[in-house]
Amino acid sequence: MMSGVEGYFPQLSHLMAQSAGTLVRSPSHSRRAEARRRLARHALWLAAGLSALIIVLMFVFDATE
């Protein structure tokens, strides 16, 4: 084995630790508040749309019974 070269698993664990740190720390972009509001709005629309879809599917499948 070559000296001075890390193995696969130490490199992988280091990369995973770096990625986790990037995901956990607070964002540094100047428009993060706008992005947070947009994400909340999209999440609300998605939840409302999925709820409506579930209700429609319940009525459709119940009507066939």
pLDDT in tens, 27-62: 777 788 888 899 999 999 999 999 999 999 999 988
Between CA 34 and CA 38 the distance in angstroms is 6
* Residue 61, phi then psi, degrees to nearest 5: -75, -30
pLDDT recorded at residue 64:
77
Average pLDDT in the 7-25 region? Answer: 88
pLDDT recorded at residue 5:
61
Report which of residues 26 and 5 the model is more confident about.
Answer: 26
pLDDT recorded at residue 1:
46
Report which of residues 51 and 9 the model is more confident about.
Answer: 51
Among the listed residues 50, 48, 1, the one whose alpha carbon sits nearest the alpha carbon of residue 10 = 1
